[in-house]
Structure 1
Amino acid sequence: MSDTPSSIRRSLFLHAPIRRGPRVVLRQMLELVDDDTPPDGPDGPVAVLERGLAHLLGKQAALFFPSGTMAQQVALRVHADRRGRRAFAAHPQSHLDVWEEQGYNAVHGLWLRRTGDPHELMTAGDLAAAAGEPLAAAVWELPQRDLGGLLPEWAELCEQVGLVRATGAAAHLDGARLWEAQTYYRRPFDEIAALFDTVYVSLYKSLQGVRGAVLAADTETVQAAQVWRQRLGGGIRDAWPLALAALVHLDTLAERMPAYREHAIAIAAAINADGAARAHPDPPQTPMFHIHLPAPKRAVERAGAELLAEHGIQLWGRVRTVPDPSRCSFEVSVGENAMEFTPDEVAALLRDLLTRAGPD
């Protein structure tokens, strides 16, 4: 049975279609507009969103982009052109490198200095070594998705940013999941963002919008980014539906996030106490963590399809391989979907899943 809204009744997966169908999203958007809402201009949804995020992040200006891929590449391009340097540092698991076909190089002529161990957080020592080559910028992904939502401690993050800035390089925040990170740091968003020259946030991850991104920075940087957005075809007209979908949760997400984090901690604790599977980190630092399973990917996917067909329960968006072919993992990002599952229920579902997986 396919993973369609009709087949999925409940899901641990944050972006399951049960809360993202067109009718659901459109009803939410309609509650924010009336007959006098303009599609564009200073009172249109895009401008309202840009001002709202600039204020939240304590930046002079913010700019809408149709994708985070474009927003982050543009930020790095502006930093590189301004400094006359073409290299930037980022963790080996950076989204910019792993998921974007090295667009930073193919489109902008930049190159990446992979910094740190692929399976551990980037350290000040890693960045000091990378700074042996003049850098245009360094990128921090907070939290580090492919490491299970890990974050450096606040003092260490400040040390790392200070080290990079001392070399004349810019500090850029991949804040696609900044709302999750804030639940751990427990500092105002503008205090976190103040560490960085440029900050990117996703409109469809934590905010559960449709698509799109916003880049926040000082006015001069945003003006330069706007030129590159136009050159890359991102200055689209009638972007108001994407902005409006993000505005649905902008004012309410932060107040719900601590509960999501506490529920993630409780689920992870139940999984680890049960022992059939393993949750990492233990405990989670954010509402995000990984579940590691002692069974191969193909067998787990088959078992998951059975659970979905029999009970309408979806456990993941995708299953990931790991170096050990007898094991695999998947990501949990706690939001409204996962709040419908008790911690013990999740542990029991995983035990059922592994029983079904059996020998591949």
Structure 2
Amino acid sequence: MVFHVAGKPAALFLPSGTLAQPLALKIHCDQRNRTSIGLHPTSHLVLHEQGGYQKLWGLNTRLLGDTQKVLSFADLKVQDPDHLAALVLELPMREIGGQLPAWDDLEAQVNWARQHTIAVHIDGARLWHCPAYYQRSLAEISALADSVYVSLYKDIGGIAGAVLAGEADFIAEAKIWSRRAGGNLISFYPYILAAEQGLEDNLESITEAVTYAQKLGPLLASIPGVTVNPATPQAALFHLHIDAERQALNETIDAYAEQHEVVVLSKPRAIDEHGKSICEISVGRSTMEHSVEFWLEHLRTCLDNCSRRA
């Protein structure tokens, strides 16, 4: 089951997405005798991998689109496609609240890449969220791309690990690069067994989680000082921009959890351009054990406490 979730002919288990993605992009670049990859400014490869795509894999990047907005065909059609080997599409885009492009726009982006012999790679760390929004199967979504990466611990609950999927010849090359990069651990079975169990336990519930998030987000936006991004969630995650100082909010979250035994918010992950704290809401099975009204009341009370603390 792990090796067929993306609907591609072949797949490879790898210990991390930080290995899987630049490995895939290296192959696409070599096949086209180019070294540049197109990335949104909020891509994990840009923000969280210490420049590994360049330092370890010899790739160059071209940043595409607006940091605060989902990548669009309009962003691509003004680009010079020369020297670009691969386009990375993150679905959904975690750093901007799990936003997704409209299906028609996504197809236009893929067609633009195809017209210019640019490979399409899906950063699908949370690809499991997309069928609910697009009303299409994982296989249909993955068919847009030459290669697809999915995480086996985000949402799924595995220990660690990733799957890189694509055509058989692509995966044969990926196995060679995995060996070169030290990705072929002597045994993967604990990770694979945990992933199998996680898929069985959690995969079907993610569609329900997306629907739940779409109800929860607008409800939380009714709290003064809270803005939801996006206004109507498109995935089983979204961001709250909260008009509260970061340290005060951190302290309030801890105190509230200790007093009520309810973790109502994750710690702020960033500060926006207006100085508001950004907290991520990720909906899973434990969240859905309670009504959306339960979370509304707890968040309202928690933020009232934060205001008094400030």
Pick the TM interval, shorter chain: over 0.9
Correspondence for 1:97 among 46, 50, 61: 46
1:191 and 1:252, CA in 2 relative to 1: closer, same or farther beyond 3 A? farther
| SS, match of residue 116 in structure 1 | coil
The structural deviation recorded for 1:130 is: 3.3
Say whether the 8 Å CA contact 1:85–1:135 is kept in structure 2.
yes
Correspondence for 2:244 among 281, 284, 295: 295
1:219 aligns with 2:168: yes
- Determine the structure 2 residue equivalent to 1:49: 2
- Paired amino acid for 1:156: D
RMSD: 1.6
1:124-163 to structure 2, matched below 5 A, reads: 124-163=73-112
Correspondence for 1:269 among 209, 215, 218: 218
The structural deviation recorded for 1:318 is: 3.3
Residues 319-339 of structure 1: per-residue CA shift (max 9 Å, x gap): 123234642011111111211
1:170 aligns with 2:123: no
| SS, match of residue 13 in structure 2 | strand
Q: Distance in 1 between matches of 2:137 and 2:151?
A: 18
Gaps of 5+ in 1: 1-47
The structural deviation recorded for 1:312 is: 2.0
- Determine the structure 1 residue equivalent to 2:261: 312
1:233-248 to structure 2, matched below 5 A, reads: 233-248=182-197
Q: Distance in 2 between matches of 1:229 and 1:199?
A: 16
The structural deviation recorded for 1:251 is: 4.0
- Paired amino acid for 1:92: P
Correspondence for 2:26 among 60, 63, 77: 77
1:326 and 1:350, CA in 2 relative to 1: closer, same or farther beyond 3 A? farther
| SS, match of residue 21 in structure 2 | helix
- Determine the structure 2 residue equivalent to 1:345: 294
Say whether the 8 Å CA contact 1:297–1:320 is kept in structure 2.
no
The structural deviation recorded for 1:349 is: 1.9
- Paired amino acid for 2:42: Q
Residues 113-168 of structure 1: per-residue CA shift (max 9 Å, x gap): 01000000112122223334321100000001111111001111000011011111
1:113 aligns with 2:24: no
TM-score scaled by length of structure 1: 0.82
The structural deviation recorded for 1:274 is: 3.6
Q: Distance in 2 between matches of 1:95 and 1:264?
A: 23
Bigger CA drift: 211-220 or 308-317?
308-317
Aligned sequence identity (%):
36
Q: Distance in 2 between matches of 1:142 and 1:187?
A: 13
User: How many aligned positions are there?
Assistant: 309
TM-score scaled by length of structure 2: 0.95
- Determine the structure 1 residue equivalent to 2:140: 191
Q: Distance in 2 between matches of 1:242 and 1:307?
A: 35
Say whether the 8 Å CA contact 1:113–1:130 is kept in structure 2.
no
Q: Distance in 2 between matches of 1:67 and 1:253?
A: 20
- Paired amino acid for 2:79: A
Say whether the 8 Å CA contact 2:81–2:116 is kept in structure 1.
no
Correspondence for 2:150 among 190, 201, 224: 201
RCO higher in 1 or 2 (8 Å CA, sep ≥ 6)?
Answer: 1
Q: Distance in 1 between matches of 2:17 and 2:157?
A: 14
- Paired amino acid for 2:204: E
The structural deviation recorded for 1:218 is: 0.4
Say whether the 8 Å CA contact 1:131–1:167 is kept in structure 2.
no
Q: Distance in 2 between matches of 1:88 and 1:326?
A: 32
Say whether the 8 Å CA contact 2:131–2:207 is kept in structure 1.
no
The structural deviation recorded for 1:258 is: 2.3
- Paired amino acid for 2:36: A
Correspondence for 1:331 among 273, 280, 304: 280
Say whether the 8 Å CA contact 2:216–2:292 is kept in structure 1.
yes
